[in-house]
Chains A and B, each alone.
Chain A
């Protein structure tokens, strides 16, 4: 039975039990994108459609999917939501899912998706060649597609960069009343604290986080952009942000805004990095098409777009970042495997609660 028929049947069954007043609404029950169907059994035969569940925002993926369809003739149907609802959706749908690929941000979420068994191992020489080993799952259930760095941003008017060290040094009294942080509810900060736990252990990390909280200039922020704006406006002098938010402000207001990025050195543990990435769903109806999409996304041309659209770093080391990003200079990344952030995330959240970091 084709997919279209399946939807028809679905819609008609749903209609039966409903009052006549709903008849008009039932007409909308058939999705606009219902396409020529695919066999429900996994097959490696070429597919002309691939279905993606994405927690990466639409404006960052649509141009890339459009390009893919142009080049290959394969239609990409996608739906977006937060990570956790998407994972629950895959769990609930089980074998009947129509999704082939799960795209998400943050290694913690990729780790959790793999833990929950909604992703399958992929054996692809192309992905192995394009994506470095430390940016993929050890069992090949997910692969990073872009790298984001979370680092220190400071006011060039009020801070001497020589005074800056690693993340832990922001707990020093020198920064009393000068530090801005985003809320601990954001997974980026949870991953950062997870990295600190991996490096310093729980006790020392809790001291560091308490030091941060003592140094706060104002209540925590709900997003990174406001945080950088607060530094520009003089509300605080130093903070921690994902670099692309800073890049976006540079793009809007010019590269000469009075703030700059500082890269923590290797001796202090290096720069905290995280990834966005994807994997093939366990019950993908079109696994061949799913792998083909991921392979294409890891290719140099797609990588340039994928990272460039959001001013992130390409996961494929053969690809240069956007010139604006490249101008920030080289940095030494933390050597912690990105997936470890997922394993330590719950511990990090509890630690931040104890330390009073809201």
Chain B
């Protein structure tokens, strides 16, 4: 049996904290200390403003980039919500030609990094790109497509790159919710469309919100995609302050303003969401689907095909064409090592981050309240600030810890003790990834955990199962798909990640994304296709595995 109950969280709120729950506060605090440290370094810079740079930015840069950023974040969030949720609803709860294919195929764009999608789409549709060149060759010099402009191009590309976050998370919600809710709606006289709006959509809201929150944070922190189109945002202003005006202080200050804004947004969203709780009653999804009328079914097929074509098939074909052109000059055996390191780092980071996310989500469940909740928010803010800024914050913090340990060691063992160098190790690198991507792991885990009824915990406790045992024996098996979703998102994000990888990698630890950087920094976009395509192909493996798991 599977129904879903949506209603006020009176019972959950009134539940007394579990015995031994204080330890969980410490767990939440520890996770937050590791991942929020680089933010603290950035916010620390707020107290030493670089007045000259600020005055310039305030007059000539910030007004424009703020407008641009608001446009970008609002439009990308809205479009990914609509596209991601509608596709998820179609593939999870409806029946139409090609559904089984699109069910997994629409996850594939997840493996395409935004900056790669941007240069592939630009390579296809720009004035000098494949499509317009062909048009001019066929119909003369005046033929061509109208220019989209930097804003529309950036919004479109980021939407296509990021909608799978919403799709993946919302599909899980719709799939476990089944059509039963809809049947209830129909039984009281609602049309399917109205039933979707009034019943299915509200019930999936926390999942859609989780996906959109990730999209919004990723969009705020994006540098690679908007740079391809020269669209100036808050993040490009941060880079400008640092790289062009030589003021890391101003860059950190801008970044901390960004962090504060995101913190406010996150808290507001939590309050808004906090009024309702959504728990699945029973287990196992309802696998029956709504049969669409023939015309609607074909419309659904066309819609899914269009998104799949533009977000995945066309760009990948363009990458493939470039790869074929450059393969002889570009391939060497080191590629196997690049790919191996990318996979290793993705897997190790996924393991670490999902573990931390699980501990964090469970800690908040055990000790609900502003303290644990605050730690959880602080621990996941790193996703919203540009990777390069986070990388520097993390690097500085790690060096300071190393210096502190060195001083302590020298005080104990004498002044000739070797210095403790924590940078340049894989452990440091993984912790830096955790600081950046904990939100990506935490979102799906938290959403999945909210679906477990508190009464289940009470029943388990009644049988003497509590604390870690409750997590391991009761929650873990139920959380399977949520954990796999989190691991997949972290894996592909780490595969695509650049600034942290560049700054914290040990000597010789070049990865596929580092290779893309090496080549694109010198304008060799076509030669970078082999690495970009490899990221996509390697990223497909977990996408397909997850799909088999979740059916």
Contacts and interface: CB of A to CB of B under 8 A. Distances in A.
Interface of A: 1, 5-7, 9-11, 13-15, 18-19, 21-22, 24-26, 28-33, 40, 51, 57-60, 77-85, 88-89, 92-96, 98, 112, 183, 185, 187, 190, 218-226, 229-230, 232-235, 245, 310, 345-346, 349-350, 353-354, 358
A346 B240 CA distance: 10
A230 B165 CA distance: 36
B113 to A, nearest CB: 16
Contacts, number: 182
A346 B128 contact: no
A81 to B, nearest CB: 4
A11 B406 CA distance: 14
A112 B245 CA distance: 11
Contacts of A222: 227-230
Interface string B215-249: 00000000000011110100010011011111010
A28 B426 contact: yes
Contacts of A60: 522
Nearest to B392: A88
Contacts of A190: 244
B522 A57 contact: yes
Q: Say what secondary structure dominates the interface of chain A.
A: helix
Given A33-B508, A58-B510, A187-B244, A223 B523 contact: yes
Where chain B touches its partner, the secondary structure class is helix
Given A7-B425, A14-B427, A220-B230, 17 more contacts: A21-B351, A22-B352, A22-B427, A25-B348, A26-B427, A31-B507, A31-B509, A57-B518, A59-B519, A85-B391, A85-B503, A88-B392, A223-B523, A229-B128, A233-B128, A233-B133, A354-B60
Contacts of B523: 223-225, 245
A203 to B, nearest CB: 17
B399 A25 contact: no
Given A6-B419, A220-B230, A346-B244, A28 B344 contact: yes
B258 interface: no
A206 to B, nearest CB: 12
B355 interface: yes
A111 to B, nearest CB: 10
Given A26-B427, A230-B127, A346-B246, A10 B422 contact: yes
Contacts of B240: 185, 349
Given A32-B508, A81-B503, A350-B56, A18 B427 contact: yes
B418 A1 contact: yes
B217 to A, nearest CB: 22
A89 B503 contact: yes
A15 B352 CA distance: 13
- Output the residue of B352, B430, B523, B525 with the most chain A CB within 10 A: B523
Interface in B404-462: 405-406, 418-428, 430
A57 B60 contact: no
B141 A234 contact: yes
Contacts of A40: 418-419
B423 A93 contact: yes
Given A92-B395, A349-B244, A350-B56, A79 B230 contact: no
B230 A185 contact: yes
